[in-house]
Chains A and B, each alone.
Chain A
Amino acid sequence: QQTLPSHPPGRQQPQQPRVPPSVLEEPGGHGRQRGPQSVPLGQNGRRPEAGFQELSLADRGGRRRDFHDLGVNTRQAIEHVQESKTGSSGVRIKLTANYFRLTSRPQWALYQYHVGYSPEMEARRLRSALLFQHEELIGKTHAFDGSILFLPKKLGNKVSEVFSRTRNGENVKITITLTNELPPTSPTCLQFYNIIFRRLLKMLNLQQIGRNYYNPSDPISIPNHRLMVWPGFTSSILQYEESIMLCTDVSHKVLRSETVLDFMYSLYYQVEEQRFRDTCAKELIGLIVLTKYNNRTYRVDDIDWDANPQCTFRKADGSEISYVDYYKRQYNQEITDLNQPVLISQSRRKRGSIMPGPVVLIPELCFLTGLTEKMRNDFNMMKDLAVHTRVPPEQRQREIGRLIDYIRKDDNVQKELRDWGLSFDTNLLSFTGRVVQGEKIFQSGNVFDYNPQFADWSKETRGAPLICAKPLDNWLLIYTRRNYDIANMLVQNLFKVTPSLGIRMNKATMIEVDDRTEAYLRVLQQSITPETNIVFCVLSSSRKDKYDAIKKYLCTDCPIPSQCVIARTLSKPQTAMAIATKIALQMNCKMGGELWSVEIPLKQVMVVGIDCYHDTLSGKQSIAGFVASLNQTMTRWFSRCAVQGRGQELVDGLKACLQTALRDWFKWNKYLPSRIIVYRDGVGDGQLNTLVNYEVPQFLDCLKSVGKDYNPRLTVIVVKKRVNARFFAQSGGALKNPPPGTVVDVEVTRPEWYDFFIVSQAVRNGCVAPTHYNVIYDTSKLKPDHVQRLTYKLCHMYYNWSGVIRVPAPCQYAHKLAFLVGQSIHREPNLLLSDRLYYL
């Protein structure tokens, strides 16, 4: 019996030094018994499929969510794509993808039985033991979760009755009733395949961490950063367009060869005493830890500084024990630091109907996984990591092939597959995709072509006049004394680069400040006038508090566009001109200027982008960034954001955003858009249902409320960047990344969705990740080809990058906005700024 201690009450009662708190809440059996034992069984007519879900969860040790959004059928409601959802334009290209077809013997079916006991037997293991006394009847191959039995063969009778004897000599009647014959494509079967596949990975001695499996025997060590990278695989088996396939990709797990306690100590030496606890919380909360004694991962939700390992808790049997003694006795784990705080992890999975209490973890016994925010921002570290984790197409294909090889060569795995009558194709799936033509870039009367291979036109358009240049008549340049030279140099460089762009520029009002936040703010308060176009701050370090304070003031109290640049960025002579050009362009956008456009044939359409930012640190609020196009060329964007606390629904805020966007559109165009196309980013795995059933109706409601005669066509497209699909283009015997503009809407899409993939950007290292688009609602009657083309065009319109990006520009703008508000401003920015890209 393994029971994890639950939370000590240390925090409620003032802690007496060295006296462990006495009373503790009952941890019940919530600990780590695997799987369904503790789920109430049988009695009150569990639905047959529910039981199987339990099995699947127990097997992957995961959560209850359906990550694949199975059973959300949105295509059936979209009339014009019933026949076909494929586009037509572009050049055909031969592709392979990281998918393998699942093949089964002809007439394969899974037989689902309900198993009843009389008298009723409670414990799952007893139920299993009693049932398996009849192996001669049911056979060696089976999956049983305590009440549902799956067999690859059909029993002789629809209802079989057998008798078993418990060891107290009690006779038990077991009734095995056929409840279902599952075709290979039924959702239950799909779940079942996934379970079987996970069993196989376990047989291959791969270690499960979170949702994926990793190979611990050949780790890559990065001692510079105390990191360890384990190669591994993601896998999922789903029904795709034509067949059931296994999608598997190379995955890397970043682990840290230090405990949470080690980490706390090294942090302690890096920050001042009074900031230590805050910094700890900032760095640790939200991270996933592995424990020394079991194979489970936990999310750190809180740190309890009032508790320590000497605190006690009550075990399932009622006795009380301290953490030190518990871990010593249970796992022979010595806790040496008795003054360390404890970590709190809120359990996210329900056990039956009971929500278990929080779990207490000892920092010394936990290892960190993944990267902290700080590490992600560490350029050197990310570079060192990328060497190992960015796997180019050829190598990726080889590594994926290795998994299939393992499966083919392992006798046990083969036997398991054979017993169930399953097997996998040995070749990667290959099919034909399309590469749509590149876009022409229009910039103030000039037309530019770019090399589609690189998906970048910074060279081509360098120095060309902009569509709309905003003058820098009256602007402030704020710097510290040390950066005086840098500031001066910047002004000179800007004078050199702005004329060709068409930007009129006066000399800046130069203001020197002390390098303190208050000094910056005082200067802003004193020097900004109604005529000020923009404020430029040269910051001496990347200290976030200064940046935050400036942005907050200039986005809310005193709405003026602002540009903050770290002095170091400006200090390199080799890149000074290029940097000055970039800054000039960015400032121009922030003041409401326009850079370039692409041809957009669709008229009277408003394109909306939505993305979310979840503040994991304070854990309190989420921010939805909302942007909407204001003009036909999609060069101007309205923006607003919805800030909502925990428990509030996002959509209420989005409704208000959409209303204001329509009002502003009307002001600009003197009519309302006849089509609205929403690109919705920031939707997690398994949240599709909520979106379809809740968010879309709210949009429709909102449109209805605009006016009786107003009935625009609405399209809602869910944008997903994190997908496991990878495409490879065959080019002269070698595998390469597919070129930007590659569209895939066959084979690897899902039959119940109107979805497609676009590879829009080009990458230098590793494999390019396609973006998945799922049209969940559509009354536009636009052809799939047009939706695909429009989407790709929009990937060209992000002004902070003169090239094609991974998502449509409105999504990236929405992301930028939500990030700025979530990271720095924490409340809704002033609406006076809403028609400019001030958040770039």
Chain B
Amino acid sequence: MDKNFQEEQFTGIMKFTPPLYKQRYQFIKDLVGKYKPKKVADLGCADCTLLWMLKFCSCIEVLAGLDICASVMKEKMHRLSPLPVDYLQPAERSLTVTLHHGSVAHKDPCMLGFDLVTCIELIEHLEESELKKFPEVVFGFMAPSIVVISTPNSEFNPLLPGVTLFRHPDHKFEWNRAQFQSWALETARCYDYSVEFTGVGHPPTGMENVGFCTQIGVFVRKYPQTSESAQSEKPTEAVYKTVFKAVYPSLKDEKYLQNAVVSEVIFRAQIIKRSLLDCLMSEHEEYNDDPTERKSKFQPSMNCFSEDLGKLVVEKSMGPFVDGNMVYIPLKTIFSFPKVNRLCGTFEKLCKLIAGKVTLSSDGSAVMLNTEHENEEN
């Protein structure tokens, strides 16, 4: 079932721009931008649209979705997988996306330790018994720093054509503002949260008294982060079923970091080698009868070389040099490239990462490349 879609359907006259569901998601994105949570869970994640939007938020390192219906999650879950580009250029941050199949009326330890938990248009789908357990599971057990709950505001319904009882046949109830607020305040009081009310979907002019189409409560935990020990007392039995898990490539992972560093080191070394050999070549070819051609041959590579480093190499006493058919490029030189520097942090780390992956001189201070390759063919 698809709440996003159907909302659009019946708002044919009462049309929101952007569509209401987008406004709800944008609300969450703005909240994420403001509080920069690291771990975010979306309860009732349906087709994972919100999770998909959130995966682009660079502060988030753990994303989890939970839904009672596995097939609706599965339909589009593959868009939560890393993109080819995520492998080509692994990000600084780590990101793990997990989808669970289960009910918000049950506790599962995989939901512990989150900073933000969102429940967008969820509670009105809960049976009475589930709704009763819901506060204890979300506020008592999961106990994240922030909880966002959105639900229809029934006072708005008369403005929506075609809505007789509820906005969706699966809705078990739709609350007016007073009902939602009293439930929310009671819940907040009970679990030591503060709550503020807002909403999305402004009423038309003249009808302001009905309030937002969607009402939202933002709950903030008043007590500090639960300590590890406190959490360990909680039940640890897993009841959710994991239906999807994607671990994004990240430079935090040694394997990807090493790949990135080795690639960058060899690439830089190649550029230096080429410009060095070009310099030597042009010295040999002084008798070339066409001066313009020599210039064009010489300049670009030198340019490319000098881009970030030319000066450095000239100034440092120990620059790259050619010996026989070997080119030696000091690791210090390579380390001074901003990108290499940024990736490794320290010189020692650089040495450690490339050990065994790049051919080094006997004392390990320089990258060694063969000149032969270059002259061989072309």
A residues in contact (CB < 8 Å) with B: 1, 123, 125-126, 129, 165-170, 202, 205, 207, 209, 214, 216-217, 219, 221, 223-224, 226, 228, 230, 255-257, 266, 269-272, 290-295, 317-318, 330-333, 367, 378-380, 480-482, 514-516, 542
CA distance A542 to B167 in the complex (A): 72
Q: Which residues of A sit under 8 angstroms from B83, Cβ to Cβ?
A: 207, 290, 292-295
CA distance A214 to B81 in the complex (A): 13
Docked-complex contact B84 and A205, CB < 8 angstroms: no
Residue B228 CB within 8 A of the other chain: no
Residue B223 CB within 8 A of the other chain: no
Which of B104-112, B258-266, B342-350 participates in binding chain A? B258-266
Known: A166-B9, A169-B164, A272-B300. 8 other contacts (CB 8 A): A126-B5, A167-B169, A168-B9, A168-B10, A219-B87, A256-B88, A380-B376, A515-B290
CA distance A256 to B87 in the complex (A): 11
Docked-complex contact A166 and B85, CB < 8 angstroms: no
CA distance A271 to B299 in the complex (A): 9
Shortest Cβ gap from B320 to chain A (Å): 17
Chain A residue nearest in CB terms to B300: A270
Residue B263 contacts which of A169, A221, A270, A317 (CB distance < 8 angstroms)?
A: A221
CA distance A228 to B262 in the complex (A): 13
CA distance A481 to B85 in the complex (A): 51
CA distance A291 to B86 in the complex (A): 10
Shortest Cβ gap from B237 to chain A (Å): 24
Docked-complex contact A367 and B56, CB < 8 angstroms: no
Q: Which residues of B sit under 8 angstroms from A126, Cβ to Cβ?
A: 2, 5-6, 9
Docked-complex contact A221 and B373, CB < 8 angstroms: no
Residues 1-19 of B contacting A (Cβ, < 8 Å): 1-2, 5-6, 9-10, 17-19
Residue B131 CB within 8 A of the other chain: no
Docked-complex contact B290 and A224, CB < 8 angstroms: no
Residue B89 CB within 8 A of the other chain: yes
CA distance A126 to B10 in the complex (A): 12
Residue B314 CB within 8 A of the other chain: no
Q: Which residues of B sit under 8 angstroms from A331, Cβ to Cβ?
A: 56
Residue B270 CB within 8 A of the other chain: yes
Docked-complex contact A333 and B56, CB < 8 angstroms: yes
Residue B281 CB within 8 A of the other chain: no
Docked-complex contact B9 and A228, CB < 8 angstroms: no
* Chain B 66-108 interface mask (CB, 8 Å, partner A; 1/0): 0000000000001101111101110000000000000000000
Shortest Cβ gap from B251 to chain A (Å): 13
Docked-complex contact A515 and B267, CB < 8 angstroms: no
Given A126-B9, A226-B263, A269-B304, A167 contacting B289 (CB threshold 8 A)? no
Docked-complex contact B85 and A291, CB < 8 angstroms: yes
Given A1-B19, A317-B17, A379 contacting B259 (CB threshold 8 A)? no
Residue B162 CB within 8 A of the other chain: yes
Chain B residue nearest in CB terms to A480: B289
Docked-complex contact A221 and B259, CB < 8 angstroms: yes
CA distance A332 to B18 in the complex (A): 19
Chain B residue nearest in CB terms to A219: B87
Residue B38 CB within 8 A of the other chain: no
Q: Which residues of B sit under 8 angstroms from A209, Cβ to Cβ?
A: 84
Shortest Cβ gap from B152 to chain A (Å): 11
Q: Would you list the 8 A-B pairs with minimal beta carbon distance, nearest first?
A: A167-B168, A223-B266, A223-B263, A269-B304, A332-B56, A168-B162, A216-B87, A270-B300
Central interface residue in A295, A333, A481, by most chain B CB within 10 Å: A295
Docked-complex contact A216 and B82, CB < 8 angstroms: yes
CA distance A170 to B164 in the complex (A): 10
Shortest Cβ gap from B91 to chain A (Å): 10
Given A270-B301, A378-B378, A170 contacting B162 (CB threshold 8 A)? yes
Chain A to chain B contacts (Cβ below 8 Å), 26 pairs: A1-B18, A126-B5, A129-B1, A166-B169, A167-B167, A168-B6, A168-B162, A169-B165, A169-B169, A170-B162, A207-B83, A207-B84, A223-B263, A224-B267, A226-B263, A228-B87, A230-B84, A290-B83, A290-B88, A294-B83, A332-B58, A367-B89, A379-B376, A380-B376, A515-B290, A516-B290
Residue A223 contacts which of B169, B267, B288, B373 (CB distance < 8 angstroms)?
A: B267
Q: Which residues of B sit under 8 angstroms from A317, Cβ to Cβ?
A: 17-18
Q: Which residues of A sit under 8 angstroms from B36, Cβ to Cβ?
A: none
Docked-complex contact B5 and A125, CB < 8 angstroms: yes
Given A216-B82, A271-B300, A332 contacting B57 (CB threshold 8 A)? yes
Q: Which residues of B sit under 8 angstroms from A168, Cβ to Cβ?
A: 6, 9-10, 162-164, 167
Q: Which residues of B sit under 8 angstroms from A333, Cβ to Cβ?
A: 56
CA distance A367 to B88 in the complex (A): 9
CA distance A224 to B373 in the complex (A): 12
* Chain B 273-317 interface mask (CB, 8 Å, partner A; 1/0): 000000000000001111001001000110110010000000000
CA distance A228 to B263 in the complex (A): 10
CA distance A330 to B26 in the complex (A): 10
Q: Which residues of B sit under 8 angstroms from A219, Cβ to Cβ?
A: 87
Q: Which residues of A sit under 8 angstroms from B304, Cβ to Cβ?
A: 266, 269-270
Docked-complex contact A514 and B56, CB < 8 angstroms: no
CA distance A732 to B163 in the complex (A): 76
Docked-complex contact B5 and A269, CB < 8 angstroms: no
Q: Which residues of B sit under 8 angstroms from A270, Cβ to Cβ?
A: 300-301, 303-304
Chain A residue nearest in CB terms to B17: A317
CA distance A379 to B289 in the complex (A): 28
Docked-complex contact A224 and B85, CB < 8 angstroms: no
Docked-complex contact A269 and B303, CB < 8 angstroms: yes
Shortest Cβ gap from A560 to chain B (Å): 27
Q: Which residues of B sit under 8 angstroms from A293, Cβ to Cβ?
A: 56, 83
Residue B373 contacts which of A167, A214, A332, A380 (CB distance < 8 angstroms)?
A: A380
Residue B170 CB within 8 A of the other chain: yes
Chain B residue nearest in CB terms to A270: B300
CA distance A125 to B21 in the complex (A): 16
Chain A residue nearest in CB terms to B81: A205
CA distance A291 to B85 in the complex (A): 7
Central interface residue in B83, B88, B266, B267, by most chain A CB within 10 Å: B88
CA distance A668 to B81 in the complex (A): 66
Docked-complex contact A515 and B9, CB < 8 angstroms: no
Residue B377 CB within 8 A of the other chain: yes
Residue A380 contacts which of B17, B164, B307, B377 (CB distance < 8 angstroms)?
A: B377
Docked-complex contact B307 and A269, CB < 8 angstroms: yes
Q: Which residues of A sit under 8 angstroms from B78, Cβ to Cβ?
A: 202
Shortest Cβ gap from B88 to chain A (Å): 5
Central interface residue in A125, A271, A291, by most chain B CB within 10 Å: A125
Shortest Cβ gap from B4 to chain A (Å): 9
